[in-house]
Structure 1
Amino acid sequence: MTQAAVSVRQELRADIESCGFFPDLVEDGILLAAADEPVLGFLVHYEPTFDRDEFHRHLTVLALTQTRLLVGHTDDHAVEGRDNRTYASSSTESIAIRNINTVVLTRVVSDPEHFRPAESPVEETWLSIGWGAMRRMDLEPASCSDPECEADHGYTGNLVADDLTIRMSPAANGAERVARLVRFASDLQRAAAL
């Protein structure tokens, strides 16, 4: 393994550990999926959620190899009636780079008229990746141009690729993680265009 690959792997481990969420399980899933390919870049997104009086954790790890995008998801689960033990599910998807058809990086900035590259703060950032595995259908009642018309015109809608979207902001995730998201998105856009 090259020194660069060792360095990326150490950074990946440190980023996973900083989330404090089953680091051995999370890292093992990504490394199993990577197999003998070195990880060239990565993005870690920790997302705690609250559901009434319950707290749940979700961790997404994206890893880029020479030929694939690896998408790992890990969730914790409390199972009642079983000694209050915690369980986790961890899954990893492997997508061939050639199958990725969209990589969208969206940045929200305030005062765009005064925007200066590498100086102006980014308020929010989204990374959306599409490879055709999931689609979302947005439907709404169809209508006609006659305001007096009461006929049922059925529905109209859009079929939208909706495989993965990650949202980060400096306030919620820190400026360093947002910068990593932008770098990862740029690397993935370049890889998907080849």
Structure 2
Amino acid sequence: MASRSEQITGAVLPQGLLSDIEQAGYFPALVADVVATAVGTDLVLSHLVHAETTIDNETVRRHVTVVALTSRRLIVAHADDHTPTPESPVAHLGSVATATTETVPLSAVRGVMLAHVMPSPETYVEGSLGREVTVTISWGAVSRVDLLPATCGDPDCGADHGYEGSIAGDDIALRVSADADGDANLQQALDFSRALSAAIGQ
């Protein structure tokens, strides 16, 4: 018999999304519950699940990112491994998983960018769109300001030249490769980007 959590998650998320979360293999029950909580009563129209493993200071970390499109919102969920520092109040727990969700109104999404990688472009087959794509989604929820002390280029100069910096909006970039992630995942990335592009263009 399904638990209450499984019943709620199954009622909210489409089977295709649940299957992709399961296939990603990173604590699928946790990820599905977090995504379902963020989606709420909305209907998921399209989605993309991207799993990645990175090595950080000789530590292997697993990550999964889920982006889901509804008629009103873009849901961004990210879960990964986290090892607390010895000074952390939760250090006694050892390694933990952290999961974060963000809800972005479609009206705030500024753009969807696709970067295609084409091996052997001289033999490109029409409609194939390459073997790798990076989907970058930007929105205006928060702007990030990066400031650094300004310099004049003279290493011996001790004058205060103020600060220089840049302002960048929120964005997310997901790289999907047919060779690493499979043809189905590459097609899913293309389908999702088309659906999101159409939704923000209305």
- TM-score by shorter chain over 0.5: yes
Q: Distance in 1 between matches of 2:177 and 2:83?
A: 29
Structure 1 residues 51 and 108, CA gap change in structure 2 (3 angstroms):
same
Aligned residue-pair number: 179
Query: Which structure 2 segments of 5+ residues have no match?
Result: 1-9, 153-160
Q: Which residue of 2 is the match for residue 46 of structure 1?
A: 51
1:1-194 correspondence to structure 2 within 5 Å: 9-79=14-84, 82=92, 84=94, 86-119=95-128, 122-132=130-140, 133-135=142-144, 159-194=167-202
Q: TM-score, normalised by structure 1?
A: 0.78
Conserved 8 A contact 1:58-1:76 = yes
Identity of aligned residues (%): 34
Deviations 1:39-87 (A, max 9, x none): 1111001111112321111110000011000000101224576364x31
Runs of 5+ unmatched residues, structure 1: 144-152
SS at match of 2:131: strand
Aligned residues of 1:134 and 1:163 also touching (Cα < 8 A): no
**RMSD of aligned residue pairs (Cα, Å):** 3.0
Query: Aligned to 1:37, what secondary structure does the other structure show?
Result: coil
Partner SS state of residue 188, structure 1? helix
Q: Distance between the aligned counterparts of 2:64 and 2:151, measured in 1?
A: 39
- 1:142/1:53 Cα in 2 relative to 1: closer, same or farther (>3 Å)? closer
CA distance in 1, matches of 2:136, 2:126: 22
Deviations 1:112-161 (A, max 9, x none): 344333346x132011111122447699x899xxxxxxxxx999876444
